[in-house]
Amino acid sequence: MIPSKMVTWVASLCLLAGSALAQEDYQIRLDRPHKVGEKFKVAVQAEDTRGQKVSQDDKVLQDGKVKVKANLEATMEVLAVDEAGDVTKAAYTVAKFDAEINGNSTKALDEGAVITAGRKDGQKLYLIKDEPAPQGLARLLDLVIPVKEEGKPDKDPTFGTKQRQKVGDSWAVNSELIAKGLSGKALKVAAENVSGKTTLVEAVTVGDVKCLRLKVEVTLQNVSFPLPPGSKTLEATIGIGVEAVLPVDPALPLVEDKTRMNMLVKAQIQAEGNTQLLEMVNNRTATVRYTPVK
């Protein structure tokens, strides 16, 4: 039998070690510069659900919904980066790319297919054998392959902080930069209608690499969307969530990235002299895991 004093001593050491870990503070670095030629194994699971309902006098006139799931496994090679080191062009060699549309499964691309993702004239461009991907395939690719938009703010000034932080600490996001980054032709939002925070959730070890798990929660209210003339917006909100696993060493790349977006729009519209209620929802999630190829 282990003496009770020994048990108490060991327990005290464990408590002290846990306390020290909890008190440790960390540098927060969200942006991880890439270099041309870097390669990663990527695994992406994404889902997009869109619905639109039109009603008049409590009678539903239209109610449509589309649910798309996509699963991509590929080797990514960095082809071009901007001044900040963000990827602006990359090639993805497919190992597996499947999709499901309203419950119907399909193979999006065969193994060995190469996707080149970048931008042209400010628009996302996905090439297959040097030819633009068909519209349906491009929509699937948009779910699983991010392409940074030119001029968008970097992550550190938007969601990060220059102060060292401890596990459990939170800080406010930069509402001005978020409003600037999201406002465009599709929507507009004022900085005063943006709120949110970033939290250092925990310190974790992935493989033999010490990492930080950070969580971002942002809410946008009174968002302006393009609607038919004579329409009146009743409600327009967007919720954005990001959960990232990043090595403590800022020289190492992102390990995992989970994102979600929930949009709700309600508006009064005019149709043939009648006032109708338009309701639109869009819920989107994606989980991306990166493994460097050496």
Q: Yes or no: say if 277 and 266 are a contact pair by the CB < 8 Å rule.
A: yes
Q: Where are the domains of the chain?
A: 27-292
Residue identified by tokens 């002299």 is 273
Q: Yes or no: say if 128 and 110 are a contact pair by the CB < 8 Å rule.
A: no
pLDDT at 22: 52
Cα distances from 148 to residues 88, 167, 217, 247, in angstroms, run 6, 29, 20, 22
**The two structure tokens encoding residue 204:** 């974790």
pLDDT at 183: 83
Name the stretches of the chain with pLDDT < 50.
Answer: 1-3, 5-7, 10-11, 13-19, 21
pLDDT at 172: 98
**The two structure tokens encoding residue 191:** 């900085």
Distance from C-alpha of 166 to C-alpha of 25, rounded to nearest angstrom: 4
pLDDT at 12: 53
Distance from C-alpha of 106 to C-alpha of 70, rounded to nearest angstrom: 10
Q: What is the pLDDT of residues 92-146, one digit of tens each?
A: 999 999 999 999 999 999 999 999 999 988 889 999 999 999 999 999 999 999 8
Q: Give the residues across from 266 on adjacent strands.
A: 235, 279
* Total residues found in the chain within this entry: 294
pLDDT at 152: 81
pLDDT at 148: 84
Question: For residue 230, which amino acid is it?
Answer: G
Q: Yes or no: say if 137 and 129 are a contact pair by the CB < 8 Å rule.
A: no
pLDDT at 104: 96
Phi, psi for 16 (deg, rounded to 5): -65, -40
**The two structure tokens encoding residue 267:** 């508006």
